[in-house]
Amino acid sequence: MADPLNAFVPDSNVFIKGAPTGPLAGLTFAAKDIYDVAGFVTGGGNPDWARSHEPATTHAPVVQALLEAGATLIGKTITDELTRGLLGINAHYGTPVNPRAPDRVPGGSSSGSAAAVAGGLTDFALGSDTGGSVRIPASFCGLYGLRPTHGRIPLEGILKQAPSFDTIGWLADDAEIMGRVGTVLLGPNVPDMPLQRLVIAADAFEMVSDAVTAALAPAIDRVKALAEDSDTLRLCPTSLRDWSQARLTEQNWEANHSFAEWIDRTNPRLAYDCAQRFAAVTEVDTQTIEPVRRAHRDRMAELLTPGSFVLLPTAPGPAPLKGLRRSEMSEMKEHLALLCGIAGGAGLPEISLPLGEMDGCPLGLSLIGPAGADEALLGFARMLKA
Amino acid sequence: MADPLNAFVPDSNVFIKGAPTGPLAGLTFAAKDIYDVAGFVTGGGNPDWARSHEPATTHAPVVQALLEAGATLIGKTITDELTRGLLGINAHYGTPVNPRAPDRVPGGSSSGSAAAVAGGLTDFALGSDTGGSVRIPASFCGLYGLRPTHGRIPLEGILKQAPSFDTIGWLADDAEIMGRVGTVLLGPNVPDMPLQRLVIAADAFEMVSDAVTAALAPAIDRVKALAEDSDTLRLCPTSLRDWSQARLTEQNWEANHSFAEWIDRTNPRLAYDCAQRFAAVTEVDTQTIEPVRRAHRDRMAELLTPGSFVLLPTAPGPAPLKGLRRSEMSEMKEHLALLCGIAGGAGLPEISLPLGEMDGCPLGLSLIGPAGADEALLGFARMLKA
């Protein structure tokens, strides 16, 4: 098929008709190329990975569930290499187009999924989110994107990066569709729920410029208007950097473990930034890391009492321009990891809402919910839209 | 042209007729794809390097000199990526065939040059040697290969890796041709010289198995028979590993400097082992490194009195089999670096002589000469053959 947005994996003509009836009947979806689809190689965004693996023999359970619920799979989408990227750049297959900001990157790693949805090619798309890979492309492309509670949806049939952080997520242009997918992948009940308490994350907003906060202000007011109560406070008693560093150390260590045998066997070609992340990892000092990780989880659990959400910017700003040097993107990458690590490091659900705009580009606003409150986040997003 | 040995850079039809007369008239040569040839991109063994550089506008001076001396250039040969490899494996263009041991790697980084010469496709070939890249493919493919004294032949018009160690070298199947090329690139006089003293490097031979030493024994006897005097002693008062580590630290640091701007700008695709070398480098602690480097140079200068050579195995053994895992090659790579670093780290000339055989595969024996004794090494190789 023609692919002007470069959203889809080249040379794979995946098309699987969904069941004639069901909650998703009539909808189409695309799946990031880390989901097994029977008969196709799960390519993972790297040609040497694709070349060294056999086609999948069965569908990933979530793909199967969506098909049975009536959605039609129309393609597999480009991912950042081995899901290790946040900007949506793929040195092998090219960067998918950001339809809402064509001179900018789409965000990643669920880059092709976001491009396909934002470009109107499909109703929703499966992504995955380890350190921001659904939320960031949602923010950059002006979409809804959910990272569910860690462990809520089993990771079967997908290429794993760091299983303690990997989650199955999805993106759509419409809060209603987000919720309908939730009824299939989470459970039948996605209720309209009142928000008792909104915690505005002061230290997360400190990571972004005043211009970003100003651009998000109208959206923040809309969220606040639906909350019974709100409070502005710092999430982390020390620095968000501490949480981020501990989380990244553990994630990188797990990612090395996931790919070590393959790298040893095949000496694959990787874009330098991807290779560098593998090469830079040293053994995790659990004595140092674990207390920080525990404090992070405990603090977020303490803040997120039932019926409350934390509000924060999804990303430090709109999508960066295409074609920047590595050194020009490093600070942006660091801040992306830091903001997305707040929910990611604590295993919490987060939804990015396409409610902001800056310099004519989309800008996401995020809500983090208590563990298991995935349906509440989806229901709230729907209410907010209405 | 058909390229059954995969020795040549794909899609480049380089053919430049040499001058009708001259010391090399009637000979053909090939040049590693790090030498500028006017009208062609100098590809350096990496497609992203090739894509991000313009064609050369003039020939490298050594290419020009060889053409003027009558040799005809028949092609550009595959190199290990950015000259950073010792085994002759290129993940992008494929591994050139080792014509003398087809189930084994050819050695690198002057892999295609060695394959082309050993396969009889050309009379001699230009390579380059930073940490063994001429000597190792010479040893693995059963050829003569000279690493000249550092600085003897200017590095103009070539892709540089680590200029404090980079040298321009060449390979041939015939000692006579080696010498004729020397008369063009070094100076007119390549004399038959008597060898006053042979120093057999005990600690270098400790790095190889008894089987390797036994396989080299007849060749060692031939060399000894031409020396007035010989002595067996340890080169390094501490451990050859100390010299090797200091040399590699400095080489890697320089290589990072050479490619840093390009990596930052293009985020290139590199085979993992190549990327890892860039990623692993940290700042050089000159306080620790410099005394070791100085001791190395001083000790070698002390041993290499005029008229003397040091004798050592070129490599720890014959070429390894193709298709090994990275972990299965790591010890071999370490020992290759260690042996080749003895001359390389001290800026000294070394010639690998194709005088050994083991398991039906070629095995090189090396002579290191005093600084500037390049012609003496070439002349001695010719005498040895006669």
User: What's the pLDDT tens digit per position in A321-372?
Assistant: 999 999 999 999 999 999 999 999 999 999 999 999 999 999 999 999 999 9
Residue of B92, B105, B262, B267 for testing the chain A interface, max A β-carbons within 10 Å:
B267
Show Cβ contacts of residue B261 under 8 Å, excluding neighbours closer than 6 positions. Answer: none
Nearest CA to A43 among A158, A124, A171, A126? Answer: A158
pLDDT in tens, chain A (386 residues): 689 999 999 988 899 999 999 999 999 999 999 999 999 999 999 999 999 999 999 999 999 999 999 999 999 999 999 999 999 999 999 999 999 999 999 999 999 999 999 999 999 999 999 999 999 999 999 999 999 999 999 999 999 999 999 999 999 999 999 999 999 999 999 998 789 999 999 999 999 999 999 999 999 999 999 999 999 999 999 999 999 999 999 999 999 999 999 999 999 999 999 999 999 887 788 899 999 999 999 999 999 999 999 999 999 999 999 999 999 999 999 999 999 999 999 999 999 999 999 999 999 999 999 999 999 999 999 999 77
A267 touches chain B (CB under 8 A): yes
Domain ranges of chain A: 28-185, 195-240+282-355+363-385
Cα→Cα distances A3→A13, A40, A74, A75, A96, Å = 11, 19, 12, 11, 10
CA angle B149, B246, B114 (to 5 degrees): 45
Nearest CA to B177 among B115, B131, B126, B219? Answer: B126
Phi, psi of B341 (to 5 degrees): -75, -15
Q: Known catalytic residue: B109?
A: yes
- The rounded Cα B12 to chain-centroid distance in angstroms is 24
Phi, psi of A360 (to 5 degrees): 75, 10
B80 touches chain A (CB under 8 A): no
pLDDT of residue A1: 64
Q: How far is A381 from chain B (nearest CA, A)?
A: 38
Q: How far is A300 from chain B (nearest CA, A)?
A: 35
B263 touches chain A (CB under 8 A): yes
Q: How far is B324 from chain A (nearest CA, A)?
A: 8
B267 to A327: CB separation less than 8 angstroms, yes or no: no
Out of B111, B113, B133, B308, the active site residue is B133
Task: Tell me which residue in A264, A275, A327 faces B275 most closely, judged by beta carbons.
Answer: A275
Do the beta carbons of residue B110 and residue B32 sit within 8 Å? yes
Q: Which residue has the tokens 């674990």?
A: A290
Out of A133, A258, A308, A352, the active site residue is A133
CA of A263: which chain B residue's CA is closest? Answer: B272
pLDDT in tens, chain B (386 residues): 679 999 999 988 899 999 999 999 999 999 999 999 999 999 999 999 999 999 999 999 999 999 999 999 999 999 999 999 999 999 999 999 999 999 999 999 999 999 999 999 999 999 999 999 999 999 999 999 999 999 999 999 999 999 999 999 999 999 999 999 999 999 999 998 789 999 999 999 999 999 999 999 999 999 999 999 999 999 999 999 999 999 999 999 999 999 999 999 999 999 999 999 999 887 788 899 999 999 999 999 999 999 999 999 999 999 999 999 999 999 999 999 999 999 999 999 999 999 999 999 999 999 999 999 999 999 999 999 77
Task: Tell me which residue in B263, B272, B278 faces A267 most closely, judged by beta carbons.
Answer: B272
Cα→Cα distances A367→A197, A312, A381, Å = 12, 7, 9
B324 touches chain A (CB under 8 A): no
- pLDDT tens, residue by residue, A69-107: 999 999 999 999 999 999 999 999 999 999 999 999 999
B-chain CB neighbours of A270 within 8 Å are: 269-270, 272, 275
Q: Tokens standing for A265?
A: 């066997």
R_g (Cα) of chain A, nearest Å: 19
Q: Tokens standing for B7?
A: 């020795």
Do the beta carbons of residue A277 and residue B273 sit within 8 Å? no
B271 to A271: CB separation less than 8 angstroms, yes or no: no
Q: Enter the ipTM.
A: 0.92
Task: Tell me which residue in A92, A263, A269 faces B270 most closely, judged by beta carbons.
Answer: A269
Residue of A269, A326, A331 for testing the chain B interface, max B β-carbons within 10 Å:
A269
State pTM to two decimals. Answer: 0.94
Dihedral of the CA atoms A272, A273, A278, A279 (nearest 10)? 60
Show Cβ contacts of residue A263 under 8 Å, excluding neighbours closer than 6 positions. Answer: A278, B272, B326
B269 touches chain A (CB under 8 A): yes
Phi, psi of A224 (to 5 degrees): -55, -35
Report the 3 state secondary structure along chain A.
Answer: CCCCCCCECCCCCCCECCCCCCCCCCCEEEEECCECCCCCCCCCCCHHHHHCCCCCCCCCHHHHHHHHCCCEEEEEECCCHHHCCCCCCCCCCCCCCCCCCCCECCCCCCHHHHHHHHCCCCCEEEEEECCCCCHHHHHHHCCEEEECCCCCCCCCCECCCCCCCCEEEEEECCHHHHHHHHHHHCCCCCCCCCEEEEEEEHHHHCCCCHHHHHHHHHHHHHHHHCEEEEEEECCCCCCHHHHHHHHHHHHHHHHHHHHHHHHHHHCCEEEHHHHHHHHCCCCCCHHHHHHHHHHHHHHHHHHCCCCEEEEEECCCCCCCECCCCHHHHHHHHHHHHHHHHHHHCCCCCEEEEEEEEECCEEEEEEEECCCCCHHHHHHHHHHHHC
Angle between helices A240-266 and A286-303 (to 10 degrees): 130
Nearest CA to B113 among B101, B97, B102? Answer: B97
CA distance B189 to B168: 19
CATH 3.90.1300.10, applies to A195-240+282-355+363-385: yes
CA distance A126 to B65: 61
Q: Tokens standing for B59?
A: 């020939």
CA distance A108 to B205: 53
Residue of B80, B272, B276 for testing the chain A interface, max A β-carbons within 10 Å:
B272
Q: Known catalytic residue: A32?
A: yes
pLDDT of residue B41: 97
Q: Give the domain B8-386 fold.
A: Amidase signature (AS) enzymes (3.90.1300)
Cα→Cα distances B263→A34, A98, A321, B82, Å = 27, 25, 18, 12
Cα-Cα end-to-end distance for chain A:
36
Residue B230's Cβ-count burial label (10 Å; 0-12, 13-18, 19+) is middle
Out of A32, A128, A244, A352, the active site residue is A32
B51 touches chain A (CB under 8 A): no
Does the bond joining A244 to the residue before it have cis omega, within 30 degrees of 0?
A: no
Nearest CA to A172 among A223, A120, A108? Answer: A120
Q: How far is A351 from chain B (nearest CA, A)?
A: 31
The amino acid at residue B100 is R
CA of B277: which chain A residue's CA is closest? Answer: A279
B-chain CB neighbours of A275 within 8 Å are: 270, 272, 275-276, 279
Q: How far is A270 from chain B (nearest CA, A)?
A: 5
| A–B interface: beta-carbon pairs under 8 A | 68
Out of A76, A109, A244, A366, the active site residue is A109
Nearest CA to A32 among A169, A181, A182, A186? Answer: A169
R_g (Cα) of chain B, nearest Å: 19
Neighbours of A332 (CB within 10 A): 18
CA torsion sign for A294, A295, A296, A298 is positive
Same fold, A28-185 and A195-240+282-355+363-385: yes
Q: Known catalytic residue: A133?
A: yes
Q: Tokens standing for A200?
A: 């505005």
Q: Give the domain A28-185 fold.
A: Amidase signature (AS) enzymes (3.90.1300)
Cα→Cα distances B19→B22, B23, B66, B69, B176, Å = 7, 10, 9, 6, 20
Angle between helices A374-385 and A175-185 (to 10 degrees): 160
Does the bond joining B330 to the residue before it have cis omega, within 30 degrees of 0?
A: no
Residue A174's Cβ-count burial label (10 Å; 0-12, 13-18, 19+) is middle
B267 to A265: CB separation less than 8 angstroms, yes or no: no
Q: How far is A86 from chain B (nearest CA, A)?
A: 15
CA distance B248 to B200: 24
